[in-house]
């Protein structure tokens, strides 16, 4: 048997061992069953958000006083609220609001954190020292308190809610990314890039940032759940999304106080939706961490 034959046999073995996407996914779901649950919850939310126009049986903002406060039944599966609006339709459209706020705040917050964290590690010295103290100040406030303060300043609206949730995410991501980037900064290829005369921006964005993608993705997925919960909390407090926009926290606020005894479905279903979404994103985020974190992968 020649060397060439050996190569061809190993290639054939490799080809044989290659699995389809479905097989790989099945493997991953077997290893991470809770992650799979989370994934399907997230997937369901995404489908609801994208196809809300087709899935929702009624206009979510249409006041129909002839149908006010109807209990769950054949016509309205999850009942109606005090304005006669179909709760199921509002939940489906609410997924759009939740995901929009969740993804926008998480993506912008985590991305800003990524760039700032790598910058801080790359420049080091006084810049790093001052920058980290600023991050300390931001991180000393709990997420919800910080978001409340920001919304109070800018006023309640969907855009301002996104800003309010994004800002507290930045230092949280920057801190984690920086610790990873500190190690990467010492690797010779960074010195090599510097020796070749590349600018700071190129080194940070092209050479260092891609190597801290694992913690970035972990932070990103965990932020989505937090962002959804914070948006719901702000809306519940009347500082987030405003009527008549369908949003889960807002639905809970509208129903919890006055109708919880006599028409509990108004509050229960949005509450369940919020819990499920956060639960789903957290499970999914944990699995992503388990897969991407090398220390956990080797255990």
Partner 1 sequence: MKPSIKLAIAMGAGAAFTLGAVATASAAPKRGGMLNIVVGSKIPSYDGHRETTFGMIHPIRPFYSLLIRVNPDNPQSTSDFVCDICSNFTKSSDGKTYVFKIRENVKFHDGTPLTSQDVKATWHKLIFPPKGIASSRKAFYGMVESVEATGKYEVTFKLKYATGGFIPALATPFNFIYSKKDLDTHGYKWHMKNINGTGAFTFVQHQPGAFVEGKRYANYHLKGEDGKNKPYLDGYKAISAPKMAIRLQAIRGDRAQIEFRAFPPKARDDLKKALGDKITVQESDWNCVMGFSSNQKLKKFQDVRTRQALTLGLDRWGGSKYLSKIAIVKTVGGTVFPNHSLAAKKEELLKLKGYNPDMAANQAEAKKLLAAAGMAGASVELLNRAVDQPYKVVGTWMLGQWKKLGLKTTQIVLPTGPWYAKFRKKKDQETMIDFNCQGVVNPLIDASKWLSNDIASNNYANYQDRQLDKWYDQMNRTGDEAEAYSIMRKYEKRIVDEKAHYAVSFWWYKINPYRSYVKGWNIAPSHYLNQSLDQVWLDK
d(CA 126, CA 132): 10
For residue 145, state whether it binds partner 1 (rule: CB under 8 A): no
Query: Can you tell me which of 46, 68, 205, 292 binds partner 1, judged by CB under 8 A?
Result: 68
In the complex, the smallest distance separating the C-beta of residue 275 from partner 1, rounded to whole angstroms, is 21
For residue 187, state whether it binds partner 1 (rule: CB under 8 A): no
For residue 83, state whether it binds partner 1 (rule: CB under 8 A): yes
Residue 80 backbone phi and psi in degrees, to 5: -125, 165
d(CA 30, CA 37): 11
Report, in this order, helix, strand and coil percent for the chain, each rounded to 5.
Answer: 80, 0, 20
**Count of residues interacting with partner 1 (CB under 8 A):** 19
For residue 156, state whether it binds partner 1 (rule: CB under 8 A): yes
Residue with smaller CB distance to partner 1, 132 or 242: 242
Query: Can you tell me which of 65, 73, 210, 275 binds partner 1, judged by CB under 8 A?
Result: 65
For residue 149, state whether it binds partner 1 (rule: CB under 8 A): no
Which residues, at least 6 apart from 92, have a Cβ–Cβ distance to it below 8 Å?
48, 52, 55, 56, 60
Nearest to 150 by CA among 99, 136, 159: 159
For residue 157, state whether it binds partner 1 (rule: CB under 8 A): yes
Contact 121, 181 (CB under 8 A): yes
Residues in a beta bridge with 124? none
- Chain positions 225 to 284 lying near partner 1, rule: CB under 8 A, are 238, 242-244, 257-259, 261-262
Contact 261, 9 (CB under 8 A): no
In the complex, the smallest distance separating the C-beta of residue 187 from partner 1, rounded to whole angstroms, is 51
Interface residues toward partner 1, by CB under 8 A: 61-63, 65, 68, 82-83, 155-157, 238, 242-244, 257-259, 261-262
């Amino acid at each position: 048997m020649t060397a060439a034959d050996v190569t061809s046999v190993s290639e054939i073995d490799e080809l044989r061992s290659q699995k389809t996407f479905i097989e790989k996914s099945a493997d991953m779901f077997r290893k991470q069953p809770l992650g799979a649950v989370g994934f399907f919850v997230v997937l369901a939310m995404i489908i609801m958000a994208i196809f809300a126009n087709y899935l929702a049986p009624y206009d979510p903002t249409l006041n129909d006083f002839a149908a006010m406060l109807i209990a769950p039944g054949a016509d309205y599966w999850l009942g109606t609220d005090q304005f006669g609006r179909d709760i199921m339709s509002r939940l489906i459209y609410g997924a759009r609001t939740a995901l929009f706020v969740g993804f926008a705040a998480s993506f912008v917050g985590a991305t800003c954190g990524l760039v700032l964290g790598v910058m801080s590690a790359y420049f080091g010295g006084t810049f790093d020292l001052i920058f980290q103290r600023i991050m300390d100040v931001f991180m000393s406030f709990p997420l919800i308190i910080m978001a409340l303060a920001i919304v109070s300043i800018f006023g309640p609206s969907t855009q301002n809610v996104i800003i309010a949730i994004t800002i507290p995410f930045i230092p949280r991501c920057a801190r984690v990314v920086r610790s990873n980037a500190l190690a990467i900064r010492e690797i010779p290829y960074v010195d090599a890039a510097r020796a070749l005369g590349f600018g700071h921006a190129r080194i940070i964005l092209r050479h260092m940032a891609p190597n801290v993608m694992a913690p970035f993705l972990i932070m990103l997925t965990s932020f989505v759940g937090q962002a959804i919960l914070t948006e719901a909390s702000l809306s519940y407090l009347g500082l987030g999304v405003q009527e008549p926009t369908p949003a889960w926290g807002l639905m809970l606020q509208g129903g919890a106080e006055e109708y919880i005894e006599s028409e509990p479905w108004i509050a229960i279903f949005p509450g369940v939706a919020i819990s499920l979404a956060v639960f789903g994103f957290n499970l999914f985020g944990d699995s992503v961490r388990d897969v991407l974190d090398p220390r956990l992968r080797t255990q």
